[in-house]
Amino acid sequence: MPTRNPGELFKTVMQVLAILCLIAIFAVIGHKAVVDLSALAERYPGSDFWPALGRYLLRNLGAG
């Protein structure tokens, strides 16, 4: 196995750290989506859910 210089090792460590951070960001976004959908389904049971989901999505398009 060829030895790596410190610069290459640093790049590899930073790439792994960046990948782990991206995984954490996607996990937080996914968790928030599940929690929001669960709360919406609990608040608007049955056929009221789909219009409420549409309103929720349109309201959040503008980050408002």
Instruction: Write out the chain's pLDDT in tens, 64 residues.
Output: 567 788 899 999 999 999 999 999 999 999 999 999 999 999 999 999 999 999 998 888 876 5
Query: What is the distance in angstroms between the CA of the first residue and the CA of the last residue of the chain?
Result: 54
DSSP letter for each residue of the chain: -PPPPHHHHHHHHHHHHHHHHHHHHHHHHHHHHHHHHHHHHHHS-GGGHHHHHHHHHHHHHTT-
Phi-psi region of 45 (alpha: psi -120 to 50; beta: other; left: phi over 0): beta
- What pLDDT does residue 15 have? 97
pTM of the model: 0.71
Question: What integer pLDDT is reported at residue 30 of this predicted model?
Answer: 96
